[in-house]
Amino acid sequence: QKYGVNELRRMFLEFFESKGHLAMKSFSLVPHNDKSLLLINSGMAPLKPYFTGQEIPPRRRVTTCQKCIRTGDIENVGKTARHGTFFEMLGNFSFGDYFKNEAIHWTWEFLTEVVGLDPDRLYPSIYQDDDEAFEIWNKEIGIPEERIFRFGKEDNFWEHGAGPCGPCSEVYYDRGEKYGCGEPGCTVGCECDRYMEIWNNVFTQFDNDGHNNYTELEQKNIDTGMGLERLACIVQDVDSMFDIDTLKALRDHVCNMAGVEYQKDDNTDTSIRVLTDHIRSVTFMISDGILPSNSGRGYVLRRLLRRACRHGRLLGIKGAFLVELAQTVIDGSKDGYPELEEKKDFIFNVIAKEEAQFNKTIDQGLSILADMEEEMKKNGETVLSGKNAFKLYDTYGFPIDLTSEILEEKGLTYDEKGFEEAQKEQRAKSEGTFGTHNYSGKDASVYDQLEAELSSEFVGYDQLEVESEVT
């Protein structure tokens, strides 16, 4: 029996409903009243007020399937079998209700009895000092000691700054030798894709006051998260999350458009997977009202969209193509997210506009960059000048990370300091001309950029979510 993604989502929610949970709709990707987070990156994130006691939950047991974005994983996307910038996180939550015992038993019951995974391929990990969790896995579930992995604080203690925290217990699935890195130490916890982490159970029992003073929470909580795409990957017994039913349909669409075949060439495959992933992020982000801009969430969206365009070009796709792919995203996911269908026209309009704007200059920009590289080669240089990097940004709309990434593929870099200086210079110039307000046209983007730097939420693209990610 091979369950589809939409079926698995329903099975999970129904299972936890049968255990007394209230199934709630996914929250928006845009955090509500939470300045610490740019985009929702876990099932727990939008439920924070219930965990801290700031708000009363509608029930003390809740289950969700939450849309998530993790731009911090962008480097992994296309390269590993298990990372997307967008994914869905299944979760069950207890606000001062049940605790470790029930949580572990239900994790096991769902995986082995409801979904029917082979128990001999499942490996739990626990926080090294969490003997309570060990006893449950070992004595009650019956997993032999040598199959339970004890990890340190870095891996199995969930916390980020101030607030609720505690030990966690994760479940890994052994996909078999063919997915392994072959290194002698390859086992549970290895970064390769053989032992795939599927489910994280966080036992929130402490509160950190922000200075590492821990107090036992009045009410202990449970927060769990399982990637729906990873679960589907294992249940459907396919190579990666890009081979599960919904994502395969999208991937096939990408291949058809480009006239390329999957699994013929590594670089091509990476581009196929990146495009498949990014168009999902883009479609879902816009459906939650995020618009492309040069700061904050809008910048994340703009970068993902432009990166998708570029990988489409790398695959040989001509003209505009993202709207057509967004349609396939919607077809695959409207079962769980009817708002996609409702907001279709809006989504298509935003994508079409942004894509057209970038398309006007992308080919020109790419060829200018190629000329710059040529020039560098001639001069024996490996660092693109800040002035040139800025020109690509300012005139051709290349997000700086895109330029950086293209260069990196050839072992080159750009002058970050020089780029910032050129940016400052430009800003000073436009201020001289327009004063500090009423920017328009091209200068509007300069204004956005300025705002980005002033905004406390925005701490630079790569650091965006590192802090708030569940480990």
**Burial class of residue 350 in the structure, from the number of CB atoms within 10 Å of its CB (0-12 exposed, 13-18 middle, 19+ buried):** buried
Strands 157-158 and 163-174: antiparallel
In whole angstroms, the minimum distance from the beta carbon of 126 to ligand ATP comes to: 14
Looking only at residues 389 through 428 of this chain, which bind Mg ion when binding is defined by CB under 5 A?
Answer: none
Q: Which of 13, 24, 165, 198 binds ligand ATP (CB under 6 A)?
A: 198
- Residue closer to Mg ion (CB basis): 405 or 469: 469
Binding mask 65-104 for ligand ATP (x = CB under 6 A): -----x--x--------xxx--x-x---------------
Residues whose CB is less than 8 angstroms from the CB of residue 237 and which lie 6 or more positions away in sequence, other chains included: 2
Residue nearest to Mg ion (CB): 200
Where does this chain touch ligand ATP (CB under 6 A) — which range of 32-40, 137-145, 194-202, 308-316?
Answer: 194-202
- Residue closer to Mg ion (CB basis): 171 or 340: 171
In whole angstroms, the minimum distance from the beta carbon of 43 to Mg ion comes to: 13
d(Cα 24, Cα 12) in Å, to the nearest integer? 12
In whole angstroms, the minimum distance from the beta carbon of 301 to ligand ATP comes to: 17
Q: Which residue, 365, 363, 259, is CA-closest to 313?
A: 363
Calculated CA dihedral for residues 277, 279, 283, 288, nearest 10 degrees: 50
- At 295, list the tokens: 């700061």
351 lies in the site for ligand ATP, by CB under 6 A: no
194 lies in the site for ligand ATP, by CB under 6 A: no
204 within 8 A of 164, measured Cβ to Cβ: yes
**Burial class of residue 118 in the structure, from the number of CB atoms within 10 Å of its CB (0-12 exposed, 13-18 middle, 19+ buried):** exposed
200 lies in the site for ligand ATP, by CB under 6 A: yes
- Residue closer to ligand ATP (CB basis): 231 or 450: 231
Residues whose CB is less than 8 angstroms from the CB of residue 192 and which lie 6 or more positions away in sequence, other chains included: 179, 180, 181, 183, 186
Using CB under 5 A, count the residues that bind Mg ion. 2
- At 442, list the tokens: 């091209």
Residues whose CB is less than 8 angstroms from the CB of residue 68 and which lie 6 or more positions away in sequence, other chains included: 29, 40, 41, 42, 43, 86, 87, 88, 89
Looking only at residues 208 through 237 of this chain, which bind ligand ATP when binding is defined by CB under 6 A?
Answer: 225-227, 229-230
Among Mg ion, ligand ATP, none, the one that 87 touches (CB under a kind-dependent 5 to 8 A) is: ligand ATP
- Residue closer to ligand ATP (CB basis): 89 or 285: 89
Among Mg ion, ligand ATP, none, the one that 43 touches (CB under a kind-dependent 5 to 8 A) is: none
- At 356, list the tokens: 């057209």
At residue 217, what are phi and psi to the nearest 5 degrees?
Answer: -65, 145
- Residue closer to ligand ATP (CB basis): 38 or 446: 38
Among ligand ATP, Mg ion, none, the one that 89 touches (CB under a kind-dependent 5 to 8 A) is: ligand ATP
In whole angstroms, the minimum distance from the beta carbon of 114 to ligand ATP comes to: 17
Looking only at residues 166 through 205 of this chain, which bind Mg ion when binding is defined by CB under 5 A?
Answer: 197, 200
In whole angstroms, the minimum distance from the beta carbon of 68 to ligand ATP comes to: 7
- Residue closer to ligand ATP (CB basis): 73 or 269: 73
61 within 8 A of 22, measured Cβ to Cβ: yes
d(Cα 234, Cα 194) in Å, to the nearest integer? 11
Among ligand ATP, Mg ion, none, the one that 61 touches (CB under a kind-dependent 5 to 8 A) is: none
Place of tokens 């001999």: 120
Beta strands in 83-129 (DSSP E): 86-95, 122-127
Residues that bind Mg ion (CB under 5 A): 197, 200
Residues that bind ligand ATP (CB under 6 A): 70, 73, 82-84, 87, 89, 197-200, 225-227, 229-230, 469-471
